[in-house]
A = this chain, B = another copy of it.
Amino acid sequence: MSFPRLGVIGAGQLARMMAAPATEMGINLRLLAQDPNDSAAQICEHVVGDPSNAQAVLDFAKTCDVVTFEHEQVPQSVIKNLEMNGIKVYPRSDSFIYSQNKVEMRKKMDQLKLPNPQWQEYSGGSTSMSFPMIAKTITGGYDGRGVFVVDSQKDLESLQKQIGQTLLIEEKLNFDSEIAIMVARSPHGQAATWAATWTIQENGICTSTVTPVPEISEELANSAAEIALTIAQGISLVGVMAVELFKVGDHLIINELAMRPHNSGHWTIEGARTSQFEQHIRAVLDLPLGDTSLTSPWAVMGNILGGEKTDMYRPYLHLMARTPGLKFHHYRKEVRPGRKIGHVTLLGSDLVELQQEVQHALDYLSGAIDE
């Protein structure tokens, strides 16, 4: 028994952020990148290959002791092919399906008696659900893509024809806020959550997070943890998972699942004793899970979205001088408008000040302000 090699399918920023804890723990990381310029491929051992090509993924997997994912774009057939060939791949295909297929996820949540919005599959014709409603593509959506607000029966029929696939339609909830909670589970069944996070969204994209969720009752925070742990066990999760929830009054309703390290858990790098990236590695290697306690009263994370500025280095001169505790994470992706190209995190005890400093940094990085 010696330090294993962990294979990661995907080489975006999530794989990039796995590199630090892998290096610390002495774990050998090898990535299956789509392009040698991918965020993580720039700094990590990798092979270039197509994650939807079963043979390419199998060849890659055979050079690793355990394989995991950093995105959902790996077909079920490819994962099952690994499993049939005796590869240790986590999360397993029968768990990962709930992250890939939103109808399977809704059915499973109903089966686990967890709080779903009202939902139906829709392939045309009239529906008993009321408008406005949310319509979603069943597979493939992220960051607000593949999600539509539909105001009328006519619009729904038209959307369905345009997309040409069965849709998932859901009740449009009048929610107070969006919350996410990260959970990790190992093959042994050990599970742990972190404090729940307030995810602040604009146009379907998370712009910043605050942890723990401000002004939430202990009861509701516990309820979020219970939901996450129930799902983790109910779907035999191995690895980390984000559970996105709507807060509607005193209730939490499940929105989405993502079965990998997730944007709403980036705060854990500095804000928790064990980050989601370290925990994911521990979980898929069946190592005991780490301490998830907070390192500070508050952690505020802000996403750096591509704007008009392309130079992301020069802003350091101003921002590091102004806010010495601000932590920068640049993914070294090409700057494109609206694309997540990095994030910043700030810890402390004065939430208002932390939010102001993070907002200042985001505005300065985007070019919205210049001092």
Contacts and interface: CB of A to CB of B under 8 A. Distances in A.
A273 interface: yes
Contacts of A330: 3, 24-26
Task: Name the interface size band of chain A.
Answer: 35 or more
- Please state the number of chain copies in the assembly: 2
A236 B201 CA distance: 47
A290 interface: yes
Contacts of A295: 295-296, 347
Given A287-B317, A321-B288, A324-B290, A329 B24 contact: yes
A26 to B, nearest CB: 3
A121 B16 CA distance: 51
Interface string A310-335: 01111011001100110111111000
A43 interface: yes
A23 B43 CA distance: 7
Interface string A261-297: 0000000001001100000001000011111010110
Contacts of A291: 324-325
Contacts of A314: 1
Contact of A1 (B23, B296, B311, B324): B311
A124 interface: no
B1 A320 contact: no
Given A19-B19, A23-B43, A26-B312, 16 more contacts: A1-B313, A2-B311, A3-B313, A19-B43, A24-B327, A24-B328, A24-B330, A25-B316, A25-B330, A26-B331, A273-B325, A273-B347, A274-B324, A287-B320, A290-B320, A290-B324
23 contacts: A1-B313, A2-B311, A3-B330, A3-B332, A16-B23, A19-B19, A20-B23, A24-B329, A24-B330, A25-B316, A26-B312, A26-B330, A270-B273, A273-B347, A274-B324, A274-B325, A288-B320, A288-B324, A289-B324, A290-B320, A291-B324, A293-B325, A295-B347
Interface of A: 1-4, 16, 19-20, 23-26, 43-45, 270, 273-274, 282, 287-291, 293, 295-296, 311-314, 316-317, 320-321, 324-325, 327-332, 342, 347
Question: 5 closest pairs, A vs B, by CB?
Answer: A26-B330, A288-B320, A20-B20, A288-B321, A291-B325
